[in-house]
Structure 1
């Protein structure tokens, strides 16, 4: 029997199984949104973001990359970081106020779809000679993190974001527009940590694990604020170069 007709080893299917696990997390988040368990829904979206990219890493290590896996990952990202966060924010803060607030959810979700579509068509595009890969726009998982930041702060008890539905709706729409922008931004997948800084990474990991167990929403708030700060710096630098 030709090799192409043989069954693939289970190990080669592992990247797709990881992707499907993330997709299940996003679908289950929507299920908990329906019963108003916003805390569990947010945790599931965070879990999906945490394992995002793991499927690609495993695929590269196993030499199991495929167009099927890439498209599956993109569709999963759209549901996990486009649809689920939009629905979560709407049910938590926007549903009980003006019906026009749904427009903010549409803007965010459509922008997430456009961002992933743009990424798909540019994924295999050759770079000009001497050019370095550049990540533009807020990535889908980063967009979900920024979109849910006010919710994280509410669950931590810092502020009640549901008391400011219009402000939260505008925030959601702005995050969506940032996802489709051409502004160079930081992607966690592009981070490279020098080996001589390994001790700091170890200490940071211990602190993160400690907060993950004891003060989860505080940790997510700090992550969200840090990423928002980095994104704002990227926007300021982009505007300075554009003006110059």
Structure 2
């Protein structure tokens, strides 16, 4: 280094802390949801967890935008996800419904969601550096993401807020519905079923303006009638899962046939006319 070069500054640049701060905020909002649930403020509890999901969706993009990605940030994100989307929904669902199941089965079912979330994130961390990831290579996810799992598991509360007091007022029915949905969501999180990611979605150029208009209408509906809108979002997402499985199967078959053709060409074998 010459005498005219400015001295190098040691330490972590501030831009690297911004995405980590957003991740910590997501963690705090998830735990705040538990605090509201303990006080019986169910709408605030669900809203806090949903806000944690929004923050979790943007922290990675902020890190890439600011070139502040790091291994520390990835590990912090996973720990935040386990807390905000595994532990927090577990406690909210138990306090709202599952504690009313006979015996102690409610707590066991509640634990299923937290365990499934932790296992999913552990699998994700273990495969970060893996080269062979068939789902990721084709733009799909393996299972459903932890924030989506939390949103699906909390869907009975959306219905309750929307249709109350005529829906799920019977505690036994409420507990049974929540138990069934929680177990299904736990299975989807740890399963190897492919699900859509942003990378697997493609939009024709002619659909750009209608899509932007739909986004505006969705935002307006979400702010004016959040619980019916979230219920419809949950139903729509659940309806995409079978299509994701069939779409991935077609792409995988196409990829396999393409590799077979390349192998024949490399071996000098011409395809049949």
> Which TM-score bucket, shorter chain as reference?
0.7 to 0.9
- CA shift digits 1:158-181 (9 cap, x unpaired): 732743312321220121011000
Q: 2:40 — aligned with what? A: 36
Q: 1:104 — aligned with what? A: 109
CA 27–190 in structure 1, closer or farther in 2 if over 3 Å, else same: farther
Q: Distance in 2 between matches of 1:193 and 1:118?
A: 30
Q: 1:132 — aligned with what? A: 138
- CA shift digits 1:17-46 (9 cap, x unpaired): 111111111011111111011110101111
Structure 1 residue 235: Cα displacement: 5.7
TM-score, normalising length from structure 1? 0.88
Q: 1:157 — aligned with what? A: 163
Q: Is the 8 A contact 1:183 1:238 kept in 2?
A: no
- In structure 2, the gaps of 5 or more residues are 1-5, 251-273
TM-score, normalising length from structure 2? 0.79
Q: 1:71 — aligned with what? A: 75
CA 189–57 in structure 1, closer or farther in 2 if over 3 Å, else same: farther
Aligned CA RMSD, in angstroms, stands at: 2.7
Larger Rg: 2
- In structure 1, the gaps of 5 or more residues are none
Aligned pairs for 1:1-244 (under 5 A) are 6-98=10-102, 99-127=104-132, 131-157=137-163, 159-160=167-168, 162=171, 163-188=173-198, 191-234=201-244
Q: Distance in 2 between matches of 1:233 and 1:132?
A: 15
Q: 2:260 — aligned with what? A: none
CA 59–219 in structure 1, closer or farther in 2 if over 3 Å, else same: same
Q: 2:263 — aligned with what? A: none
Q: Distance in 2 between matches of 1:112 and 1:210?
A: 31
Q: Distance in 2 between matches of 1:11 and 1:194?
A: 35
Q: Distance in 2 between matches of 1:191 and 1:19?
A: 26
Structure 1 residue 69: Cα displacement: 0.1
